[in-house]
């Protein structure tokens, strides 16, 4: 159980900062408080995951950072500036890949850049580079239906990165994939995101994925989501292990037990 809970390292400048953020949804059926006074910082180049019971507000928190939702109170900032709406600085990758079946892989990868009105020649060059990095270089002129689920998610990652966001939000990006593909793609995605120097906020139900892929795991309480605890995933031996290597480390099981206890899971019925 040693070294599971670490002292926080000296504060890095915040790429993303949530200050006392609360979010209430109003519907004809009534009011739902999804998040309650969240304070969270994501440093430049840092990978942080959010875990918590279903309905505790994880996706809501990502939508606030993406500028899709505005907080009921408190403030969300990216690079010190309040988020006023969706911004190219923040990229969002979801569980579903939302590829257009009638566009080639390359044309799908440039779609976000095209919508943002960026230089299409540069966007295509960057898309080709990223698709190669994601192992999709041989499929530029294929169509989505010709690809497996894991390959489609690689294209979705390339599309997210073509627009050069500083922050990448990942909302259960691998949950539709089989378990072997999940393990393989986690390694590749982390490798690409780290070499690109991105800051990453990952939502997952998979504790192992959170431990293996991110530097810090934030546990949210049941609704309304509050920050229950934060845990630094510090592995001994210098270089941070890849996600697959991390799973074979002795620390992995210690982290897993601690986070499992924190989640306080009860199976109803």
Residue 222: asked if its preceding bond is cis (omega within 30°), the reply is no
263 binds ligand ATP (CB under 6 A): no
210 binds ligand ATP (CB under 6 A): no
Cβ contacts of residue 267 below 8 Å, gap of 6+? none
Binding residue for ligand ATP, selected from 18, 41, 46, 60, defined by CB under 6 A = 60
Q: How far is the CB of 220 from ligand ATP (least distance, A)?
A: 7
Cβ contacts of residue 168 below 8 Å, gap of 6+? 90, 91, 92, 93, 160, 161, 193, 198, 199, 200, 201
34 binds ligand ATP (CB under 6 A): yes
95 binds ligand ATP (CB under 6 A): no
54 binds ligand ATP (CB under 6 A): yes
195 binds ligand ATP (CB under 6 A): no
Binding mask 137-176 for ligand ATP (x = CB under 6 A): ----------------------------------------
Q: Which of these segments, 40-48, 58-66, 144-152, 179-187, binds ligand ATP (CB under 6 A)?
A: 58-66
Q: How far is the CB of 215 from ligand ATP (least distance, A)?
A: 21
Q: Where are the alpha helices (DSSP H) in the chain?
A: 58-66, 105-109, 111-115, 120-133, 149-162, 179-195, 207-213, 243-247, 250-263
57 binds ligand ATP (CB under 6 A): yes
Q: Name which of 55 and 135 has its Cβ closer to ligand ATP.
A: 55
Choose among 193, 188, 194, 162: nearest CA to 174.
188
Binding residue for ligand ATP, selected from 18, 42, 43, 58, defined by CB under 6 A = 58
Binding residue for ligand ATP, selected from 14, 22, 43, 59, defined by CB under 6 A = 59
Is 43 in contact with 74 (CB distance < 8 Å)? no
Q: How far is the CB of 260 from ligand ATP (least distance, A)?
A: 16
Q: How far is the CB of 233 from ligand ATP (least distance, A)?
A: 21
User: What DSSP letter does each residue of 67-124 carry, written as one string?
Assistant: TSS--SEEEEEETTEEP-S--TTEEEE-SS----TTS-HHHHHTHHHHHTT--HHHHH
């Amino acid at each position: 159980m040693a070294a599971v809970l670490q002292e926080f390292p000296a504060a890095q400048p915040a790429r993303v900062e949530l200050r006392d953020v609360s979010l209430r949804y109003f519907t004809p059926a009534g009011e739902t408080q999804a998040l309650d006074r969240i304070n969270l910082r994501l440093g430049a180049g840092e990978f942080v995951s959010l875990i918590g019971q279903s309905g505790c507000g994880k996706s809501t928190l990502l939508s606030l950072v993406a500028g899709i939702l505005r907080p009921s109170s408190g403030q969300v900032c990216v690079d010190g500036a309040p988020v006023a709406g969706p911004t190219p600085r923040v990229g969002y990758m979801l569980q579903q890949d939302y590829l257009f079946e009638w566009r080639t892989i390359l044309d799908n990868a440039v779609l976000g850049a095209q919508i943002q009105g960026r230089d299409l020649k540069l966007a295509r060059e960057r898309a080709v580079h990223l698709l190669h990095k994601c192992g999709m270089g041989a499929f530029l002129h294929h169509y989505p239906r010709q690809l497996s689920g894991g390959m489609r998610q690689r294209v979705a990652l390339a599309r997210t990165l073509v627009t050069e966001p500083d922050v990448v939000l990942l909302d259960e990006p691998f949950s539709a994939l089989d378990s072997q593909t999940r393990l393989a793609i986690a390694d590749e995605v982390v490798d690409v995101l780290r070499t690109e120097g991105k800051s990453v906020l990952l939502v997952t139900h998979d504790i192992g994925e959170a431990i293996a892929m991110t530097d810090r795991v934030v546990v949210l309480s049941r609704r309304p989501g509050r920050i229950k605890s934060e845990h630094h995933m510090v592995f001994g031996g210098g270089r941070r292990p890849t996600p697959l290597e991390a799973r074979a480390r002795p620390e992995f099981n210690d982290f897993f037990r601690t986070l499992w206890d924190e989640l306080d899971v009860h199976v109803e019925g």
